[in-house]
Structure 1
Amino acid sequence: MAPSPLPSPFFDPGTHSAPNSLGIIQLRRDHLIPAVLSSSADSDYAEGKVENTRFGSFPHSTLLNQAWGTQILASVVDTGSRGKSKKRKRGSNDEGAETPTHEVDEVRKDIVKAATASSGFAHLMPPSPETWTLCLPHRTQVVYTPDYSYILQRLRVRPGDHIIEAGAGSGSFTHAAVRAVFNGYTRPQSSINGAETAGAENGATVPKKRYRRHGSVFSYEFHAPRAKQLEAELEEHRLGSLVTVTNRDVYEDGFCLQSEAGEEAPPDADAIFLDLPAPWLALKHLTRSRPSPAVLKAVTATSDPSTPNVEGPAPTPQPPTPKPFQTALNPKSPVRICTFSPCIEQVTKTVSAMRSLGWIEIDMVEIMAKRLEVRRERIGLQEEGLRGANPSAATVLEAVQRLRDVEGRAKVFHGLQKEKQTEVMRRAEAKKRGEKVPAIKDGENGGKTKIKVEGLPPSKHDRLERAKKDLEKRELFKEGKLVHRTEPELKTHTSYLVFAVLPREWTKEDEEKAAKKWN
């Protein structure tokens, strides 16, 4: 398997978006859209390839060569060009004739520059396993970030490890596992197992180079279309050289692969993750040596046709094959396993099979993740007009003072209204008596100019102006009470994770070697 010619955007996205690379368009915190950015004009739109969302249209020309995290404004897209036929206008002598391909390319060679819309925006984010989990095309239920982060930590996955994943599904765990084991792209097939020797031109021998084990993920999927689609996605993300996707029924066929020479090539797995409906039936292939017939009978006896959520054909116990047993595990180190099961009945059968096959340190965990929003809560009448605060009375004294201010302004208002009414009645009586009544000037009772009364409680406008002035001297980050609330929208599954460890085999030769070294 040849190494990827370009680094994957999941490992090295660079500082800016690039053509033919994956980008994530973030519309809201939990609403993301994946897009392979393209500079090609091969589109139904005059602006080139366009991503249409509920918050506006975003041509790829506005997304390319942008720094990650940039806010991209929506564009006005000429939707009238959408679906235009690439045919010439029909004439009298060429009815039904189509435009040649080279003429179409000449017409669509230049991309129309999109105009900025009056509203709508999105943020351009680099791809990562976390963002990909939130926006990937769902083919099955996926393993979300709270689950796979804990799983990889408990499995002690490190760069350079080999990990088996059975039940790939939509590929959420696959992308996270690749990042965890990545320590460089795989080497050419000519340097398998680290024995790298070559003859020099003058007959001199070249010393063997120390082999560096590269991390790899071996992914198994029973459903052929899902396996094919996952493999295409990994190639598109430039992860194909790090993941081996196999369409297989691991219940019957196990985990060992075949090399190009037709021989079995074990994955030498250091960690195993089984997201299967009946994981206990796959454990017989995850041992150091061939299980005895009695152990196989005990393991397969736990099979129950009524097991919920079973996908694929009902597994049937088969007798051991006569061919030599080849383990899929790394013989030089302990192997850790995790099974992902939604039902406690599945957990019971899995634990029983693990005990029969020699797994130790068996432990079950249920992930109950919650995200907490921590903020400062500012309450008081002095917070009126300030963003993020609650402008209500914080104490009884504040409430009483506000009532006094309201009653004081009402009393003054009614007093002015009474004076105005008295003045109007006096002028009306003077007119009846035939007296000459002067016109009311601005500022007098009944005039248009507002009368400023000394000692009048502050109005809402006065309070807002005072709050703006005080805001220049206030340290808001120190004020208020620290509170938190639970965010219920966090995506996760109610599932049971079973962890176990299979120690390495300790042979007589290992004992003698250790005795010579330490005695």
Structure 2
Amino acid sequence: MAPSPPTPSPFFDPGTHSAPNSLGIIQLRRDHLIPTVLSSTADADYKEGKVENTRFGSFPHSTLIKQPWGSQVLASVVDTGSRSSKSKKRKRGPTEEGRDAPVPESSEVRGDVVKAETASSGFAHLIPPSPETWTLCLPHRTQVVYTPDYSYILQRLRVRPGDHIIEAGAGSGSFTHAAVRAIFNGYPSGEYQPNDLNGTDYGIEPDSAERQKGFKQYGGVYSFEYHAPRAKQLETEIEEHGLSALVTVTNRDVYQDGFCLPSDGRNDQGPNANAIFLDLPAPWLALKHLARSPPSAAVLKSVTASSDPSTPDAEASVMPQLATEVFRSPLNPNKPVHICTFSPCIEQVTKTVSAMRSLGWLEIDMVEIMSKRLEVRRERIGLQEEGLRNANPNAATVVEAVQRLRDVEERAKVFHGLQKEKQEEVMRRAEAKKRGEQLLANTAEGEERTRAKFEGLPPSKLDRLERAKKDLQIRELFKEGRLVHRTEPELKTHTSYLVFATLPREWNEADEETARKRWG
């Protein structure tokens, strides 16, 4: 009986709303994202349950669950000062002396979680997880393969749904999440389907023995990591993200032990890969395991001669091992295999290319990716932009600047004249008071005189701001200003060399006869 498919991963089907115990991404700014597994249970540190504290405010998970993806979530008022349960002061009940009495819960309680109160400022956006967003916010254990790199790599490797891909040097798991999305075409069910994507392009179907074993028709990622803690952490993340049915994480030194998996009834043929990505310090040492048949002693000697002289012992220990053990190929025997190596130094590229030529790889090519993001917007400059956002409210021309100075001087002259009249009026009243006289104040007449003097003058700053807000309702800002573009100051990618190559499938007389019968 075929196993039931697992729960869909949020990377494939996040749904329309966020759900408890699933991964969500809190976006504070364009490149500032926080990943979190949403929890609806109580927390020992906060009455509001689990809380994400950011520079833009606190966000309890109770306000993030069951929200439509893309929603703007307002920050909440959370007492972060008493976050530690050890520092909380326990209140004593009125009927007990010397003992701690339980404190009654608030009236606004949903289960064990107190309803959060909305803060006066601060917000964030809740977005679903994807390989692109995960790359920007994942915990860095090693250097990360960013989106411009892995998108080009997967395209050059010709990865499509149903393929099997080997990844060596998993690191932080950025490429792993991108690869599993590229190969996904359903969850494994253990049943054979004739129109299998992993079958040959020449119509050769698996034999009866392969049918009995359960021919692999679904995609898979086989990730290898030398560092045990990193491999364990990646395996935990893959499990949390619901990708464990499609990703196999193995802690192994691929230089010594290769890429074949132990026989367990499901992986008898090894990874059966048709795409390979090596992010290793010395990828040329792993190429001898990526062959369809065991390399000869002469080929291994040639690879050893072109490798790093500081690692002769590793090569010497592998050569007799390959000769004595039964060789198992991790490659798909029915399709050509495409490979990419990721190296930061040109010396590594030279050794890798030399080893590829010795082992029969063809179409060897090296690429360097220099990716920059462009910001395209309209630049509006001028004094008419005063008080408006995304504009430069400075004088665009000398004439405009001189006219503004004249307007300011003209208003200042009238203002100082009125100030002088007020001072003279105060002095006149003071002298009249000394003489015992009393002058009646005519406020209406003074205001009318002041208003008359300011009529016809250029508008004040307050008047200009009010007029700009009214004009904003009828202005077409998307057509105004000068169209400009700027590149981002930092490169969000590696400065590394990508080496691509192809290993053609083995072809014999039987394959030639089958193709001739099928295609004429």
Shorter-chain TM-score above 0.5: yes
Change in CA separation of 1:192 and 1:234 when aligned onto 2, cut-off 3 Å: farther
Mapped partners of 1:6, 1:154: distance in 2: 31
Tell me, what secondary structure is at the counterpart of 1:321? helix
Tell me, what secondary structure is at the counterpart of 1:258? coil
Assess if the C-alpha contact under 8 Å between 2:192 and 2:217 holds in 1.
no
Matched residue, 1:222: 226
Tell me, what secondary structure is at the counterpart of 1:141? coil
1:11 and 2:12 are equivalent in the alignment? yes
Matched residue, 1:318: 318
The 5 A counterparts of 1:241-256 are: 241-256=245-260
Tell me, what secondary structure is at the counterpart of 2:347? helix
Change in CA separation of 1:291 and 1:394 when aligned onto 2, cut-off 3 Å: same
Q: 1:302 aligns with which of 296, 306, 323?
A: 306
Tell me, what secondary structure is at the counterpart of 2:142? coil
The 5 A counterparts of 1:411-430 are: 411-417=413-419
1:270 and 2:271 are equivalent in the alignment? no
Mapped partners of 1:440, 1:108: distance in 2: 67
1:471 and 2:489 are equivalent in the alignment? no
Per the TM alignment, residue 269 of structure 1 is displaced from its structure 2 partner at its CA by: 0.9
Tell me, what secondary structure is at the counterpart of 2:323? coil
Mapped partners of 2:119, 2:309: distance in 1: 58
Moved more, 266-275 or 399-408: 399-408
Matched residue, 1:281: 285
Matched residue, 1:399: 401
| Identity within the alignment, % | 75
1:513 and 2:517 are equivalent in the alignment? no
Mapped partners of 1:167, 1:442: distance in 2: 84
Mapped partners of 2:230, 2:18: distance in 1: 29
Tell me which amino acid in the other structure corresponds to 2:398: V
Mapped partners of 2:264, 2:501: distance in 1: 33
Matched residue, 1:126: 128
Change in CA separation of 1:431 and 1:142 when aligned onto 2, cut-off 3 Å: closer
The 5 A counterparts of 1:101-120 are: 110-120=112-122
Moved more, 418-427 or 115-124: 418-427
Q: 2:241 aligns with which of 221, 228, 237?
A: 237
Change in CA separation of 1:3 and 1:237 when aligned onto 2, cut-off 3 Å: farther
Tell me, what secondary structure is at the counterpart of 2:324? coil
Query: Tell me, which stretches of 5 or more residues in structure 2 are unaligned?
Result: 93-98, 102-108, 197-210
Change in CA separation of 1:234 and 1:61 when aligned onto 2, cut-off 3 Å: same
Mapped partners of 1:390, 1:159: distance in 2: 49
RMSD of aligned Cα (Å): 3.6
Per the TM alignment, residue 430 of structure 1 is displaced from its structure 2 partner at its CA by: 8.2
Change in CA separation of 1:315 and 1:413 when aligned onto 2, cut-off 3 Å: farther
Per the TM alignment, residue 483 of structure 1 is displaced from its structure 2 partner at its CA by: 0.8
Tell me, what secondary structure is at the counterpart of 2:443? coil
Mapped partners of 1:454, 1:249: distance in 2: 86
Per the TM alignment, residue 396 of structure 1 is displaced from its structure 2 partner at its CA by: 2.9
Assess if the C-alpha contact under 8 Å between 1:3 and 1:241 holds in 2.
no
For residues 421-455 of structure 1, the C-alpha deviation after alignment (integer angstroms, 9 at most, x for no partner) is: 676777788889x7967434225569995544442
Scaled by the length of structure 1, the TM-score of the pair is 0.84
1:142 and 2:141 are equivalent in the alignment? no
Mapped partners of 1:186, 1:262: distance in 2: 11
Mapped partners of 1:424, 1:140: distance in 2: 77
Moved more, 262-271 or 27-36: 262-271
Change in CA separation of 1:406 and 1:57 when aligned onto 2, cut-off 3 Å: closer
Assess if the C-alpha contact under 8 Å between 2:159 and 2:275 holds in 1.
yes
Assess if the C-alpha contact under 8 Å between 2:44 and 2:85 holds in 1.
no
1:374 and 2:390 are equivalent in the alignment? no
For residues 332-372 of structure 1, the C-alpha deviation after alignment (integer angstroms, 9 at most, x for no partner) is: 22111100111111011001111111111211111211111
1:330 and 2:327 are equivalent in the alignment? no
For residues 223-280 of structure 1, the C-alpha deviation after alignment (integer angstroms, 9 at most, x for no partner) is: 2222222112111111111011112111121111122259853211111000001000
Scaled by the length of structure 2, the TM-score of the pair is 0.84
Matched residue, 1:482: 483
Change in CA separation of 1:449 and 1:139 when aligned onto 2, cut-off 3 Å: same
For residues 124-181 of structure 1, the C-alpha deviation after alignment (integer angstroms, 9 at most, x for no partner) is: 2211111111222222222111211111111111001110001111111111100000
Per the TM alignment, residue 297 of structure 1 is displaced from its structure 2 partner at its CA by: 0.7
Change in CA separation of 1:431 and 1:232 when aligned onto 2, cut-off 3 Å: closer
Matched residue, 2:440: 439
For residues 172-195 of structure 1, the C-alpha deviation after alignment (integer angstroms, 9 at most, x for no partner) is: 11111000000000123x759999
Matched residue, 1:202: none
Assess if the C-alpha contact under 8 Å between 1:331 and 1:504 holds in 2.
yes
1:33 and 2:69 are equivalent in the alignment? no
Change in CA separation of 1:317 and 1:423 when aligned onto 2, cut-off 3 Å: same
